[in-house]
Amino acid sequence: MNIADRTPADLLRSVLASDATRPLLTFYDDATGERVELSAATLANWVAKTANLLQDELAVQRGERLALLLPAHWQTAVWLLACAATGVVAEVGGDPAAADLAVSGPEEEALAAAGACRGERVALALRPLGGRFPQVPEGFTDYAATVPGQPDTFAAYDPPGPGDPALAVGGERLTGAEVVERARADAAARGLGPGCRLMSLAGYGDWAGLSAGLFAPLAAGASVVLCRNAAGLDPAALAARRESERVTHFAD
């Protein structure tokens, strides 16, 4: 954690400078049995590739709006941080018809909604190991097929500042600085600090879930264990996971 950090992109850079190899985000999907562990370096690599996709292939400009129709998932965290790096405003659950581009998960309802976007449309299969669609939805770019070829480092042509809008969620529109300030406040309220490990069962549909599942741990120099589809998990299995993952804090 660096007190000079003023944007979400700054937070990721500070974690990288502190310890690039430690686990930063561990993801479970209890509907598929998937477990993915990303170090700070690996997450940053995905963020850089996605930011390059936005900036170079999709030609998105700072301040443009991206309707983000994705669940709580490690790839969603990548997109949130890539938007922050490029200055694109991530509108969580936003209206694709009013957005400049749309990013959708594989569910039919999400794809149908994203189809209303008049700009670029990107679809994520959300398959284990970042797998591709067996058949790409018509009118969409397959993220898993396109992102691997992007460069591993990123430099914004028009870097966003802390006062630029960065995130829209739950009817609120937050600047990069406001995201960082709220994340720090939430981290302090939870008692998070470097080395802490927060397990979150919350969705990404509101600020509370985004904070617990990404921004507060990032701001504190902590790490997150993000669990999707864990509502029906046996309490004993959940307790065993908390122990095996060395969880120090919990959010649901």
| Backbone phi, psi, residue 201, to 5° | -100, 0
pTM across the whole model:
0.97
pLDDT of residue 214: 98
Q: DSSP secondary-structure letter at 46?
A: H
Which CATH number, 3.40.50.12780, 3.40.50.1370, 3.30.530.20, 3.40.140.80, labels domain 8-251? 3.40.50.12780
Q: Where are the domains of the chain?
A: 8-251
Q: Which amino acid is at 185?
A: A
pLDDT of residue 2: 62
Contact 95, 87 (CB under 8 A): no
CA distance 196 to 158: 34
How big is the chain, counted in residues? 252
In the three-class reduction of DSSP (H, G, I as helix; E, B as strand; rest coil), residue 73 is classed as coil
Tens of each residue's pLDDT in the chain, 252 residues: 567 789 999 999 999 999 999 999 999 999 999 999 999 999 999 999 999 999 999 999 999 999 999 999 999 999 999 999 999 999 999 999 999 999 999 999 999 999 999 999 999 999 988 899 999 999 999 999 999 999 999 999 999 999 999 999 999 999 999 999 999 999 999 999 999 999 999 999 999 999 999 999 999 999 999 999 998 899 999 999 999 999 999 999
pLDDT of residue 4: 76
- H or E element: which one contains 167? strand 165-169
CA distance 24 to 245: 12
CA distance 107 to 121: 14
CA distance 220 to 152: 25
User: Pairing relation of β-strands 23-29 and 223-228?
Assistant: parallel
pLDDT of residue 236: 96
Contact 160, 176 (CB under 8 A): yes
